[in-house]
Amino acid sequence: MNPFLRNRQAFKRTPVKAEIPQTRSSDNGTTAVLRLYDPIDSWGEFWGVSAKEFVAAIDELPEKTTEIQLLINSPGGEVWEGLAILNALRRHDARVVAIVEGIAASSASFIAAGVDELRIMENAEFFIHNAWGMCVGNAADMTKMSADLEHEDRNIASIYARKTGGDVDTWLEAMKNESWYSAEEAVAAGLADSVFTSDAVDETPVQKAKNRFDLSALARNGHRPTNSSANEAGDPEDKESVMDTLKEGLAERFGFGADADDETVLKAIDEALEEQTVEPVETPPVVEAAEPTLESALAVIQKNGLGVVENAALTELIAKAERGDQARAQQMQEANNAVIDTAIREGRIAPASREQFLNLLTDNPEGTRKLIDQLPKNLVPVEESGHGQSPANAVEEDLGWFNTRSKEA
């Protein structure tokens, strides 16, 4: 969807209609002029200019046309329509010069950058961005659409990279940032070849201040000033003038005559350099400190409140401390087990809660013991609550009245 598209009411009021671009010729009919002054849209007519309509205008150009001037003031539009227009212009035998008169945005920007030469009028604008698209479907459809858009972005970025001599990834980043370029910035970035002055006659060198950001990193080498080589031939008179100026400056600093020959000049420079020579400073020898004696080391240790232990004794002390820690841990474990066993026997806690209460005792011994002491005994039944009888005795007692001996008695 093109955000610059005119609504129907605005379309009725504008004198510019999306018709087949009109052409006119100059220079005895060898130069033709095409105007791209509409959105680029495959529907054409009211919606904008289509590739089909634009190519129809190209086909009407005289065979003797050697140059096409493409005047652009377009917000852009559909990518594929723009690519078709660009390739139709590339395919034509004539040299194509694009001139941005208002704005070259979106697909209009890569059409402008893709032809033989791009000039941009003062105060005109250039705008680039990532491709847009619409998709209806499931998650797989959306994922594929995303990949398709990334493919289109890289294709478009390659046009800018080819124009500027840069790399595709750099222009992908600029497209992602939706970058605007003034006329001067477009030339500095390498997108445009020159700025057209208001009289549209002379190309103006780009020396104006950049109004938004530094784009020199995107410029190709052709837009950078080159330094002349040391071997490059120059004007002999200019070189002699430089040497005379240099000799006069040396004469003022070293006190010899301005008409002195080269040998005198070099001698004066050598003498001045010798006077400024600094004698090297001798570095004193490094004296290594003597190794301290055992007595002096002990004195320092005792002075600081420390003591000395022989290595074997220290190792034994550490081992004993470790064994003591282990014994203490074992004692604590046995004590905790005894507390839990007593609580289970008294019916304060259930046997199934044994591990849980052991962990509580380990983390908080005092608090857990208080908690266990507060629990009532026989909370979990452990004493006999009634009397029972064995099934065998019960049956015998129930059938006792059948006993004949009892009956006889």
Question: Which entry of 50, 107, 109, 129 is annotated as an active-site residue?
Answer: 129
Where are the extended beta strands (E) located within 342-404? none
Q: How far is CA 317 from CA 141, 291, 310, 321, 326, in A?
A: 73, 30, 11, 6, 14
Do residues 148 and 133 touch, judged by C-beta distance below 8 A? yes
Q: Does residue 106 have an active-site annotation?
A: yes
- Is 129 a catalytic site residue? yes
Q: According to DSSP H, which parts of 214-348 are helical?
A: 236-254, 262-275, 294-303, 311-345
Enclosing H/E stretch for 195 = strand 194-196
- Among candidates 64, 63, 50, 62, which has minimal Cα distance to 21? 50
Rounded Cα–Cα distance for residues 143 and 139 (Å)? 6
Distance between CA atoms of 180 and 175, rounded to whole angstroms? 10
Rg, the chain, Cα only:
49
Neighbours of 259 (CB within 10 A): 8
CB 61 within 8 A of CB 31: no
Q: Which residue out of 106, 109, 179, 182 is catalytically annotated?
A: 106
CA 304 to chain centre: 56
**Encoding tokens for residue 390?**
């064995």
Identity (one letter) of the amino acid at 190? G
Burial 324-356 (b: 16+ CB within 10 A, else e): eeeeeeeeeeeebeebbeebbebbbbeeeeeee
**Spatial CA neighbour of 98 closest among 126, 117, 82:** 117
Active site residues: 106, 129
